[in-house]
Structure 1
Amino acid sequence: MSDTIQQPPTPQSPPVIGVTGGIGSGKSAVAEAFAARGIPGIDADAVAREVVMPGEPALAAIVERFGPGVLAADGSLDRRALRTRVFADPAERRWLEHQTHPRIRQRLQAHLTRLRDGDAPYCLLISPLLIESGQREMVSRVLVIDVPESLQIERTLARDSVPREQVEAILAAQSSRQARLAAADDVIDNSGDREMLLDQVARLDERYRQWAASPQRHGHS
């Protein structure tokens, strides 16, 4: 990876950096590190939770499809129960994505518009499904958070207390490590300690700021 960013594909102003990585890769830690340096971001997972809140059309469709067993006692979506259902059946997962992805994309666009109206030099879209869902078209560059699959499993088991089989099913449903790296413009290796992570974020932040301010970027079409 060179120190100079060349020919950005999308003339967004300010630009949006798409941050992606598999489960347990550390996307939230990376977003927090950028936020500490004044760079805002929108979390696609948070937006995904918004579109299935009580009263939302997507939740009504999910309950009609899977029954009340996917609801918690307070009427909200039991995400763990739904996850168990859809990751056991690829056809059901595709149905769910068809229901939710367009709604998520629409809200992400609205959130990003508000972020880009601020004074930050660039902003982040943090999404585990950036490549799979077509959200790649919404960003200028793709930053992949990369860790070995064994470490993804280890971290997720420690964090979520879910069966290993479920973690492996989620991994299988996401893009492979190789596919993500092939789509990457930039890569953060998050297999080390926090200091290593923060150092990489600092260097990328400096490069992104220079790129966002460059006359060449604004003149590109």
Structure 2
Amino acid sequence: MNIIGLTGGIASGKSTVSSFFRQKGAAVLDADRIARELSEPGGKLHAEYVHHFGAEVLQSDGTLNRRRIGQIVFSDPQQKQWLDAVSHPAIRAELLRKLEQKRNEKQRLILLDIPLLFESGWDKMADKTCLVYVDESVQLQRLMKRDGYTRREAQDRIAAQMPLEEKKKRADYLIDNNGSLMDTVQQAEELWKEWIHGGLS
């Protein structure tokens, strides 16, 4: 059984690659999905966020206004530090619980889909790591288009992550997503064959 840590800068195409590996049969554990589940009403993080940020981060249906929280934390390093300190232990605990469950199911390949894989130190959970990357200019345009962010909002989110060149140095495998979808899928296909049939080098 192999455990791969998959990461990528925001709007780099990591989710596309993760979906490809899921379709191939990998058991995917998505840290962002876990974070969303924990911050839904009744989840472990929901009450903490509301208590800290106040009612301004609540929408009319009681769910969190994620964009408003993002505006707060990405413009104030202390708020970002608080958010990470509160959310990371809860997300990590749930991720480890699900990982143990997948181990017991004897899955051939487990993919840890974690945006802040290196920043959080969670790459230690994986046997090997894989980075999906694009040039920063492409990343900025994709993020603004995808999420409707202003240039400043997009730049703040990119700046909050580890520089791409540092991630490239740390990753065991790279997927260049600057080209076409077909190019990206071809790279992912080659890695899948290597991980499943050739083992991890």
> Smaller-chain TM-score range?
over 0.9
Give the whole-Å Cα distance in 1 for the aligned partners of 2:43 and 2:25: 33
What RMSD, in angstroms, separates the aligned Cα atoms of the two structures?
1.5
**98, 103, 106: which one aligns with 1:111:** 98
Cα deviation, 1:97-136, whole Å, max 9, x if unaligned, reads 0000000000111122222333542110111100111211
| Deviation beyond 6 Å, 4+ runs, structure 1 | none
Confirm or deny that 1:188 pairs with 2:196. no
TM-score calculated relative to the size of structure 1: 0.87
- Unpaired runs of at least 5, structure 1: 1-13
**147, 160, 166: which one aligns with 1:173:** 160
Q: SS of 2:45's equivalent?
A: helix
Give the whole-Å Cα distance in 2 for the aligned partners of 1:61 and 1:126: 25
How far off is 1:201 after superposition?
0.8
User: Highest CA radius of gyration, 1 or 2?
Assistant: 1
Confirm or deny that 1:97 pairs with 2:65. no
Confirm or deny that 1:85 pairs with 2:72. yes
- Give the total of aligned pairs: 201
How far off is 1:196 after superposition?
0.5
Aligned to 1:143: 130
For 2:81, the aligned partner's letter is R
How far off is 1:29 after superposition?
0.4
**124, 139, 145: which one aligns with 1:158:** 145
Aligned to 1:210: 197
The 8 Å contact of residues 2 and 195 in structure 2, kept in 1 or not, is answered as no
Aligned to 2:57: 70
TM-score calculated relative to the size of structure 2: 0.95
State the percentage of identical aligned residues: 36
The 8 Å contact of residues 38 and 120 in structure 1, kept in 2 or not, is answered as no
**Higher deviation after alignment, 17-26 or 60-69:** 60-69
